[in-house]
Amino acid sequence: MEGVTGWAIGDRVEAGLEPRSDTDDRHATALYKKLAESVIPCYYHDRDRFIETMRHTIALNGGFFNTHRMVGQHLHDAYHIAGEHSRWELSRISDSGQT
C-alpha cells in the first residue's frame, strides 16, 4: 500500500522478466525519483505521516526480515544442500565399488 506500508519502486510488471542491459539504470532512476518526489518531502514536511508509514512497514515486514529467521533459513538451506551433496557422493562411491 503506497505511502502506508512503504513506497513501491519501479514497475511490478518487470519483476518476473529477464533483466535488460539498462535494468540497473532504470532501477536507480526509479529509486531516486521516488526518494525526491515522495519519501524525502514526506520526511521533511509531514514527519508524523513518515513515522506512521515506518511503523506500518516494520509491523508488516518485521516478522520476516529479522536475523533469527534469516539465520534459521541459512542453516536449513546450507545443511539441506550439504546433505543432498553427501547423499549423492555416497551413492556415487557405492556405485563405483569404492569404500
The predicted structure's pLDDT at residue 82: 61
Task: Give the pLDDT confidence of 7-51 residue by residue, as tens digits.
Answer: 878 766 566 667 778 888 888 998 999 999 999 999 999 999 999
Global confidence as pTM: 0.57
Mean pLDDT of 56-63: 84
Report, in this order, helix, strand and coil percent for the chain, each rounded to 5. Answer: 75, 0, 25
Which three-class secondary structure state does DSSP give residue 96? Answer: helix
Which three-class secondary structure state does DSSP give residue 73? Answer: helix
Report the distance separating Cα 42 and Cα 48, nearest Å.
Answer: 9
Report the distance separating Cα 10 and Cα 29, nearest Å.
Answer: 9
